Amino acid sequence: MDETSMPDQTTETAFTDKGLARDLPKLSVIGLGKLGAPMAAVFACAGYRVTGTDHTADLVDMVRAGTAPFSETDLQSQFSQAGDRLRAVYTTAEAVAESDISFVIVPTPSGPDGLFSNHFLLDAVSAIGAAAAKKDTYHLVVITSTVVPGTTGTDVLAALEASSGKCVGGDIGLCYSPEFIALGSVVRDMKNPDLVLIGESDPKAGDMLEAVYRRTCESNPVSRRMNFVNAELAKIAINTFVTTKISYANMLSGICDALPGADIDAISAALGADSRIGPKYLKGGAAFGGPCFPRDNKALSAFAAHLGIKAHIAEATDALNMDQTDRLVRLLEANHEGPANICVCGLAYKTDTNVTEKSAGLSILLSLRARGHTVWAHDPQVQQRDITSDLTSDLTLHSDLETALKGADALLLMTPWPEYQDVPQKIVARKNPLTIIDPWRLFNADNFEDGVTYIAVGRP
């Protein structure tokens, strides 16, 4: 089947009926990583029999033992609740043989050109196809990994048909259906999406997948069903639009830094009250980071260039985000002459996770070190093993805030952990002057004693 023969009209339905728990299809999840493990557990808690598999045997072992393989809010309780409805096996062949629908959630890493690589995805799909070839019942393959538009209907579909010997839209179905989650709230986000996005080879495949979501979602999400390429572009568009809001607010916050009397919080409150704009992601804070957002604008811009189109907004959003580190370094150095002893508070890319990938805290730490400052860090959840950068193997990383603050000339509050509300109490009766740079504006200047220079970024 080619892309042009797929449904091209977006259909919209609302989920209203959970139906009965009998005759449920069996599910498999290929890739038990940060997204796949929670997804397998959430499906099992919704009553499905789920078989997970992963190339990493340790992950399979942990799932078999009923242990959540990652630190993620509510994940262990989902594993406990799932009980024997959730199993794990060591091969894709076994997982496919034991299921009717396979969800593929393997990495699609960014290549040097900014586009996502399909290497892991095509390997996984070929293994599913080879296993599906041995089945005499219909099998549905759902791609959840983030892909470049055009991938599912071309390379993925071809790999599936070649390995299975079956025709997509006939004995085998194919959907592209990404999740909209943030680490730290994956379980909640999976159960309560605003939107279920389904790119489908044919209505039978889409109906089967929509029924799974109808049962799993506790919210009443809108379902948008369309062809593959529209769903693939919609996924990247949603993510990049959110980052554009973040960069827009950070741009305004930068203007506020230089404008006497200006206050980003007052401006964001006004912007967010307009229903055409909405209040989410307009705080004005540190740069966005993590495993998804930073790479999505690069991918959109590279993909558009491939089509001969310039994605100006994606490029500006990315450039503004990269500028945020320099902006904070400039603020610090304008308020502290010469090399400083600096404590970076918060290395996680957001609260409620220990993931540091492309985090604002890690980025500023590396930049300050390169400029000759002495830098150490504090984070309530991140441990040394969570930091993937080779440049930080000698980093001093504290989990106790009081210890971390000792001897610092400056603090940078990079992740707005609730623990940082205690900073004013932890620095009373200090002998040395201290500069605090706070892009999240957690405090009032009145919270601090003489000798503390408190810089609420975006509120000069």
Ligand X SMILES: NC(=O)c1ccc[n+]([C@@H]2O[C@H](COP(=O)([O-])OP(=O)(O)OC[C@H]3O[C@@H](n4cnc5c(N)ncnc54)[C@H](O)[C@@H]3O)[C@@H](O)[C@H]2O)c1
Closer CB to ligand X, 66 or 203, in the complex: 66
Closer CB to ligand X, 54 or 200, in the complex: 54
Closer CB to ligand X, 88 or 264, in the complex: 88
CB within 8 Å of 224: residues ≥ 6 apart: 10, 11, 12, 195, 196, 197, 198, 231, 234
Contact pick of 35, 160, 328, 382 for ligand X (by CB under 6 A): 35
Number of residues in contact with ligand X, rule: CB under 6 A? Answer: 27
Q: Does 358 bind ligand X (CB under 6 A)?
A: no
Positions in 189-248 near ligand X (CB under 6 A)? none
Which residue type, as a one-letter code, is found at position 321? N
DSSP codes joined into one string, 51-65: EEE-S-HHHHHHHHT
Which residue type, as a one-letter code, is found at position 232? E
d(CA 227, CA 250): 35
CB within 8 Å of 20: residues ≥ 6 apart: none
CA-wise closest residue to 245 among 282, 217, 298: 282
* Sole window of 41-49, 51-59, 371-379, 403-411 interacting with ligand X (rule: CB under 6 A): 51-59
Closer CB to ligand X, 120 or 241, in the complex: 120
Closer CB to ligand X, 54 or 438, in the complex: 54
Distance between the two ends of the chain, CA-based, in angstroms?
A: 59
* Closest separation in Å from C-beta 445 to ligand X: 36
Which residue type, as a one-letter code, is found at position 347? L
Strand 86-89 relative to strand 397-398, pairing: unpaired
Q: Does 53 bind ligand X (CB under 6 A)?
A: yes
**Residue corresponding to tokens 């493990």:** 37
Q: Does 90 bind ligand X (CB under 6 A)?
A: no
Cα pseudo-dihedral 235, 238, 240, 243, rounded to 10: -140
Q: How many CA atoms lie within 13 Å of 374's alpha carbon, on the beta-carbon side?
A: 7
* Closest separation in Å from C-beta 89 to ligand X: 11
Closer CB to ligand X, 74 or 257, in the complex: 74
* Closest separation in Å from C-beta 457 to ligand X: 26
* Closest separation in Å from C-beta 142 to ligand X: 12
Contact pick of 28, 51, 78, 92 for ligand X (by CB under 6 A): 92
Q: Does 56 bind ligand X (CB under 6 A)?
A: yes
* Closest separation in Å from C-beta 269 to ligand X: 29
CA-wise closest residue to 283 among 445, 49, 442, 158: 442
Q: Does 285 bind ligand X (CB under 6 A)?
A: no
Closer CB to ligand X, 292 or 377, in the complex: 292
Burial class (CB in 10 A: 0-12, 13-18, 19+), 109: exposed
Contact pick of 40, 59, 157, 314 for ligand X (by CB under 6 A): 59
x/- map, 108-147, ligand X, by CB under 6 A: x-----------x--xx--------------------xx-
Closer CB to ligand X, 37 or 413, in the complex: 37
Q: Does 54 bind ligand X (CB under 6 A)?
A: yes
d(CA 57, CA 64): 10
* Closest separation in Å from C-beta 290 to ligand X: 7
Positions in 316-355 near ligand X (CB under 6 A)? none
Q: Does 33 bind ligand X (CB under 6 A)?
A: yes
Contact pick of 181, 196, 217, 414 for ligand X (by CB under 6 A): 181
**3-state SS, residue 331:** helix
Sheet holding 397-398, edge to edge: 397-398, 374-378, 341-345, 410-413, 434-438, 452-456
Phi-psi region of 250 (alpha: psi -120 to 50; beta: other; left: phi over 0): alpha
In the complex, the residues that contact ligand X under the rule CB under 6 A are 30-36, 53-56, 59, 92, 105-108, 120, 123-124, 145-146, 179, 181, 183, 291-292
